[in-house]
Amino acid sequence: MKGRVLITPRSLTRSDHPALARLRDAGLSIELGPAGRQPTKAELLDLLPGCVAYLAGVEPVDRDVLSAAGELRVIARNGVGVDNIDTASAREIGIEVVNTPGANARSVAELTVALMLALARGVPESHRAMREGRWQRQAGIELFGKTLGVVGFGQIGRIVGQFGAALGMTVCAFDPMLDQAMAAEHGVESVPLGELLDRSTVVSLHCPASADGLPLIDAAALGRMPNGAFLVNTARWSLMDPSAVLDSLERGRLVGVAIDAFETEPPPPDDRLLRHDRVVSTPHLGGFTRESTARAADAAVDGILRVLTRATSEAV
């Protein structure tokens, strides 16, 4: 097996990850993208021509980039989401797109719960006050007995639901694919989105972006949430209307928001929502643990080798 493989995930370009050795062992050469950051479109247009495989991060991959990559056979995303890739154009051109479902599910779920607890107890504000020499105590809330609404009940949502139940929360979930039998198996209530919003002290988002591009959490959705509710978004920035979320915070209906997914990375430093005192934001840390990075890299390498081996066999 011969050819170059472009590697761009930020977790893999700072140093040579052990999983990449299997690509070299198969006879492939490695091309690392910019260290520790997303490549630009111009850089992709320069780096991808001549590559037979592409282990991709979250950078946008549009038709122009795909058309320029004349020898490309496979794109492997080291995560579950492929909405940053123009998959329709990839299919048309003959490039197979594979992903790594479940590889980062536990790490995203653990961060989600960390963010929920940070919001409930005001940890960031208290830490900031202590660092500034201020003794500032504020009453938090216990999550025990509260309702957790999980929007999207895939592998991440299911683990978040398990954690919520372990904290003594009532867990309800909305997912078009979730039937009552599956809900009962996982110990959650399957409810319509409106009912979930009506009932939940904490709403946690774990679903893909809407097909129509419209936010799921808009002013109307926020208006249904109880006063004093929290919103946690570790999925997609586009799932929420940032102006409506900011307005809800300023009016006090939402008392805390946590965000780990952004429209652009890094986001604008003057973003009003992210600068709000009741917003906790983390720089897309959900899947960024040593364990999940290893699982995702191994699964992505598996996908590349599987597709290239099949292509080699068919060419013989």
Which residue numbers are catalytic? 236, 265, 284
Distance CA 289, CA 187 (A): 28
Distance CA 47, CA 172 (A): 46
* Residue keyed to tokens 């592998």: 155
Q: Partners of 236 in the beta sheet?
A: none
Q: Are 171 and 188 in contact (CB under 8 A)?
A: yes
Number of Cα atoms under 13 Å in the Cβ half of residue 171: 24
Q: Are 178 and 153 in contact (CB under 8 A)?
A: yes
Please list the alpha-helical segments (H only) found in 138-208. Answer: 155-166, 180-185, 193-199
Q: Which residues of 24-33 are buried (b: 16+ CB within 10 A; e: fewer)?
A: eebebebbbb
